[in-house]
Amino acid sequence: MDKKLKAVILDGYTENPGDISWSCIEQLVDLTVYPRTSPDKIIERGKDADILIVNKVAITRELLEHLPNLKFVATLATGYNQLDCQALKEKCIPVSNIPAYSTNAVAQMVFAYILELINKVSEYTADVKSGTWCKCEDFCYWNSPLYELDGKTLGIIGFGKIGARVSRIAAAFGMRVLCYTPSGKKDGFPDVEFTDMDTVISNSDFISVHCPLTPDTAGLINKDFICRMKKASYIINTARGPVANEKDVAEALKNGTLAGYGTDVLSTEPPEEDNPLLSAPNCLITPHIAWAAYETRVRLMGILEQNIKAYLNGAPINVVNN
């Protein structure tokens, strides 16, 4: 029997805090798992590895000089900007990512924000538990209006798999769906009106952002963007934190230009204590967990297994540095 290649997972905790087995990977390689690895420990832990499996640990050109056995890098995510893919390519080391594994979970989180912002379930629950309803003269109590989604307009910026899934859920709620995507109209979505960015911004009650972070999209959601929106509308950001100018968003929430903001991503993660969104009203923030449903992470593990199998069989898949 051939000796198994040595694989090291440098930051496995976020993918698997203990509720999923690594056994499918252990059957393929000689596996060592570290929950987290600081930059000064990468060389020590990875110097003998044939395969490195990483999530957010950065692999730089300089580090590669100290990883002489490295033959393959597998990410535990779709994004791979923390890896020097060009340097890895020059050394003929393929990098495989995990595409399209979190579509359902992220789309679900989009509507968790939307429903919380307009139905205020947690806010009313807190009022009830504090005794406010007990003191009410009427059988029901409310202190702010509630709204139906039916008939409202959802604008989608970016129309990959997640944006497409969001559009189908919106249609099921009876919403009108507008979409801007640089690639143009997509077939198979009769409920989606593909249009220009200005039309999406000025006509939407809710805007859900699903574009990649590029020089063109960095700071896309800024004061000018918000001023062009309908009054008392909402933004949901499950793309990347730097897509939004957080200072502008916080200011718009404080002055009422923006009715609400829901985000799973911030410009710095974990956030700095002075991040303006942390104290902004009507701002829902989750700690980068939209992708992290149990079923989603099981799916991620399955794709990781496929990526490693394909590499071992001499035909790597999902390679991002061809």
Active site residues: 240, 269, 288
For the chain, list the strands marked E by DSSP: 6-9, 30-33, 51-54, 72-75, 95-96, 153-157, 176-180, 192-194, 206-209, 233-237, 258-263, 283-285
Q: Which residues contact 12 (CB under 8 A, 6 or more apart)?
A: 22, 33, 34, 35, 53, 55, 76
Closest CA to 262 of 117, 125, 148, 102: 117
Q: 299 — phi, psi (to 5°)?
A: -65, -40
Output the CA torsion sign for 210, 213, 215, 220: positive
What does the block give as tokens for 171?
């249609």
Rounded to whole angstroms, what are the CA distances from 245 to 217, 235, 276? 11, 12, 10
